[in-house]
Structure 1
Amino acid sequence: MMSATRSVLSRVRWLPALAVTIVLMLQAVPAEAAAAGVGNDVSWPQCGRALPKGPAFGIVGVNNGLANTTNPCLATQLTWAASSSGTTAQPKVQLYVNTANPGLAGSWWPTSNTYAGTKVFNPYGDCKANDVGPACSYMYGWAKAYDDAYIRGISNPSAYTWWLDVETGNSWSGDKVANRADLEGMVAFFSSINAKTGIYSTATQWSQIAGTVPAASPLFTLPSWLAGARTLAAATRNCSNAALTGGGSVSLTQYVSGGYDYDYSCI
């Protein structure tokens, strides 16, 4: 998730001592109330911080920055999201997950079409040891989605919309077909438990990672959550931008203010 807070903190080590103090003081400023009809997304960078007051809806990151980790503040932030006002067409509580396609550089990589005792139908064929192509990429995505649903601490995972956070900051293959297969595997798992999915990214990052999505792909009709705005007005305008996929539509846009992420509903 592209957060101003993380961007600032990642540069703190380069700042003079006084500037560091100012930055850290800014991080402690309580969150402002969201504008009417606007929600917020939060995750591990907001652990220990005051969360925005009175959002229309809340979107909570399940991971701790990487696809194979858990947000240590997940339970607290889910409780915060559940207190949202629900004054838009968006569900009051939604989730987002980090995505990646690391291949053999990852801490785990599949060697078959079986995961957690389940034989998975794989439209790309058989995943085999040391294969980093679409077949094993599909299985990696399926497995990470399974973990997000069942081992991170989410109760009733089928009740949520799961947004796939697709950013160049995570590890990806140079093969866009394999990257799309990875994301398709995630969508396939979430679909198997009757959960909804969508895609979070910017047009530039999506193009670099996934390229043009074919109409036959399960990604083609997914809703988009577009990042990149810095004001509510800009986020509102971004609702009219093209979706990340040819058959999708823009459901949400994000803007950053005061170190927090705010989300405008386009529906």
Structure 2
Amino acid sequence: MRKLLLAALAATGLATAAPASAQITLGEAGLTLSPTATVASDYLFRGISQTRSRMAYQGSAELVHSSGFYIGTFISNVRFAGTDARQEIDAFGGYRFAIGPVNLDVGAQGYFYPGFSRAPGVQEMDFYEGYVKGTYEIGPVNLLAAVNVSPNYYGRSGTGVYIEGGADWKTGIWDLTLGARVGHQWIERNPRFGTPDYAWWGISVSRDFVLPVLGNTITASVGYYDTSISRGDCIFGTRQDICGARAVGSLTFKF
């Protein structure tokens, strides 16, 4: 983790906002493909580590039609105490459109953990959500908001409702983008999920670099994140160090 953070800091001149993918045009059918590959010092999902503070190796791909419809996938290593889950594979799809100056995104996403073996006391892990996202640009600032709803959230914990807001600011200084996020997760059956309802927040800074020969882009980023979950309330009171404050660095290659 320390080495990756130092690399990201050196690359940025400081050092995340989620990077936009490069686009590969596929023929004349109106389709574009946006693949990425990422190495990160941790994998955080809504402020909670999914790799128990270990390195994360991730890939994603999104296929978009000029009409606004899209499908995509995301894959990452994971590590949860008490389970044999080692991979997460997500599948998502939706429709993007604009109403005046507001860009909207309506879709659904499934979270799957292949190879996971249920054991006594361990709930099913797979779940899915529907979402609505919106963005609005004001000069160099991009405002973001999202609502996600799951009818049966992770661990069969009942209805899950998540809201998030944030902003990305293209500072104009060294081509850095400053990002901020705050979110809140409500869970119907907290004992099954393992934490109380909670908030999380983070601030980050990122910069894109174009590779001189290939012409592809690498995004280097670093951020600081925290949650409202006390250590004793983190995942069934096991005092795992996965809900607390941490710095995360990442390098993302956009093909």
Q: Normalising by the residue count of structure 2, what TM-score does the alignment of the two structures yield?
A: 0.31
Which structure has more relative contact order (CA 8 Å, sep 6+)? It is 2
Instruction: Name the structure where strand makes up a greater proportion of residues.
Output: 2
